[in-house]
Amino acid sequence: MTELTGMAGFTTPLAEKTFAKRRRTGVELFATLALAVSLLIAATAISIGMAHAPALYQITSQQSGA
């Protein structure tokens, strides 16, 4: 007969909890880094767009005959 562990329900052993916590921490770190990189890319794209805006305005105003 199998021995009872004294734990009721579907709890996981302590070693699996530690591994799950470590894995969750790694996933959270990866998600944080991905968010930071995407924010840097978005900020770069916006700043490039803002830098091109005056040049585009000058080109369009010159073509309209002003």
Locus of tokens 């052993």: 13
Which pLDDT value is given to residue 20?
A: 80
Instruction: Give the pair of three-digit tokens for residue 58.
Output: 């000058």
Which pLDDT value is given to residue 45?
A: 94
pLDDT tens digits for 6-54? 666 666 666 667 878 888 999 999 999 999 999 999 999 999 988 877 7
Q: Give the 3-state secondary structure of residue 32.
A: helix
> CB neighbours of 12 closer than 8 A, spacing ≥ 6?
20
Answer for the pair 20, 12: CB distance below 8 angstroms, yes or no: yes
